[in-house]
Amino acid sequence: MNRSLLFAALLLPSVGMALPVLDSAQKTRVNQSELRQQSVAPGQAPDGTPMLALTWNNSAANYLEFTVDKPVNLPEFDSAVLKLDLYWPENTAVGKLNLRITDSTGETLQYPLPIKELKPGRQTLEATLTPTSAGGSWGGNKNKKIDFPARVTGMSVDFNRKDGDGKLWLGKAELLPEVKIGKLIVDPAVAKVRIHDGAKRQQSAEVTTVEEKSAYQVKWDAAAAKWLEFSFAPQLPVLPEFVSGRFEVELMIPESGKVSRVNLRLSDKSGETFQYPLPITGLKPGWNVVALRINPADARKVGHWGGDKNHQLDFPVRLIGFSVDYPAGSGAGELAIGKVTFSE
C-alpha cells in the first residue's frame, strides 16, 4: 500500500464506547450543604435499587449543586448521548436537572436535561449534548462552548416550590460520544519504525497483533533507561497546515500500569522537534483511543529542541514518532500503539 494513501480516509461519524460518568456509590461534595439543608449520599431508591439519594428542604434554598470527587475526563466529541438512570418521585419538587462539564479553560457549562416527560418511578433519561448546546456557563474564557479536554464535574437540581422537603434518586450515568474518524496517518500494517539505541537501552519495537489489533509493541527494562523513543522510517508525509489539529491515538495500556507518560512528537520544516504528552491519566488497562488537540500557538509550552530553536511550529510539519517514560526501577514493561488519525 502506498503511504500517501494513508491520507485518503474520509471523515466519518463513529460512536465511541460508553463512558461511565456517575454511579450509585459516587463520592460527592454538596455546596453549602448545612446552610441549605441538603445532602447527597449513596442510598436506595423506593424500589430498592442502589442509587445516590438527594434530599433537601425547599424553604432553605431554591437549588442543590454537587461536585464529584473524581471528575471523569471526556474525549473530544461532536455530539454525545447521556443516559442517566434515575428514580422520579411522584409530585416532585424538581423544576430543572442539570449536568455540569468543566473545560480546559476552567469554564463550567451547564446542560439542562429533559425532564418534562418523566413519569413517577425508575427510568432512563436520555439527552443529546454538543460542545455548544449548554444552557448557561460561567468562569474560564466565557466562550460558551467546551474547549477540550473537559471533565464531567457535577450536577445541579432546581426546585419549583418554597416549602416542604424534596427527594430524588440518581443511578448510573453514561456518556456515549460520537466522534469523527480523522484521516489515517499511521497504520502499523504499513508504516515501519526504528527504535533509538534499542540494544544499548535493552528496548525493542515490533509490529504485531495485540488483542486483534495491528500495533507497534514496545518493550523495555527500566534498569537500563528511563525512557524509550522511536521514529517512523521512512518518514511519514507532511500534515496539512492547521490552526488547531486533533490527533487520535490507539493506545494499549498494560495491566501493570508502569507507564508514566506517552508523548507524540512533531517535527517542523527546520527540524525542530516538539513533544506533546498524551492525556493518559485515568485510562483503564486495555485498548483506549486517546485524543490530543494541538494548537501551534502553544508550541512554547511543550518540550522542544533542535532545528532553528525559534520555539515555533513552522509548517510544513510531520509526525515523526513517539516516546514513552516510565518510573526508574520499575522493571520490565511494555506498551502498544495502534493507528493514529488526524483531523482539524
pLDDT greater at residue 289 or residue 319 = 319
HSE (side-chain half, CA atoms, 13 Å) at 170 = 27
| Mean pLDDT, residues 7-16 | 39
153 and 259 belong to one structural domain: no
Asked if the structure places residue 30 within a domain, the reply is yes
Contact (CB, 8 A) for 148 and 113: no
257 within a domain of the structure (yes/no): yes
What's the distance, Cα to Cα, between the start and end of the chain in Å? 25
| pLDDT 10s digits, 164-188 | 999 999 999 999 988 666 899 999 9
Both 88 and 226 in one domain: the answer is no
Are 190 and 332 within one domain?
Answer: yes
Q: Residue 211 pLDDT > 50, yes or no? A: yes
On whether both 130 and 222 belong to a single domain, the answer is no
Q: Nearest-CA neighbor of 184 among 342, 321, 333, 336?
A: 342
Same domain for 292 and 228: yes
The residue among 178, 203, 224 that closes a domain is: 178
Domains identified in the chain, total number: 2
The answer to whether 261 and 273 have CB atoms below 8 angstroms apart is no
What is the rounded distance in angstroms from the CA atom of residue 305 to the CA atom of residue 273? 5
Residues 163 and 237 in one domain: no
Query: 52 lies in a domain?
Result: yes
Report if residue 88 sits inside a domain.
yes
Asked, for residue 7, whether it belongs to a domain, the answer is: no
In CATH, what number is assigned to the domain containing residue 205?
2.60.120.260
Same domain (yes/no): 244, 306: yes
* Neighbour-count burial of 286, counting CB atoms closer than 10 A to its CB (0-12 exposed, 13-18 middle, 19+ buried): exposed
Look at 149 and 260; give whichever has higher pLDDT: 260
Of 15-19, 41-45, 257-261, where does the model show the most confidence?
A: 41-45
pLDDT at 73: 84
Residue 15: the pLDDT is 47
Write down the pTM of the prediction.
0.63
pLDDT in tens, 23-81: 999 999 999 999 999 999 999 999 999 999 999 999 999 999 999 998 988 878 889 99
Looking at the fold, whether 147 and 193 belong to one and the same domain comes out as no
Mind giving me the DSSP string for 138-199? ESTT--SS--SSEEEEEEEEEES-SSSEEEEEEEEEEEEEEEEE-EEEE-TTT--EEETTHH
What's the CA gap between 180 and 76, in Å, rounded? Answer: 10
Indicate if 149 and 237 belong to the same structural domain: no
pLDDT for 255 equals: 84
Determine the longest span between alpha carbons in the chain, in angstroms: 74
Instruction: Give the range of the structural domain holding residue 289, as residue numbers without chain letter.
Output: 182-343
Residue 170: inside a domain: yes
The rounded percent of the chain whose pLDDT value lies above 90 is: 78
| Rounded average pLDDT over 195-199 | 93
Average pLDDT for 148-176: 94
Distance, CA of 321 to CA of 182 (rounded, Å): 18
Q: How many CB atoms lie within 10 A of CB 177?
A: 21
Q: Is the pLDDT of residue 220 over 60?
A: yes
**Residue at 13 is within a domain:** no
133 and 275 part of one domain: no
Please check the confidence at residue 1 and state whether its pLDDT lies above 80. no
- Residue 282 inside a domain? The answer is yes
- Choose between 263 and 74: higher pLDDT: 263
> Closest Cα partner for 62 from 104, 95, 14?
95
- On whether both 101 and 195 belong to a single domain, the answer is no
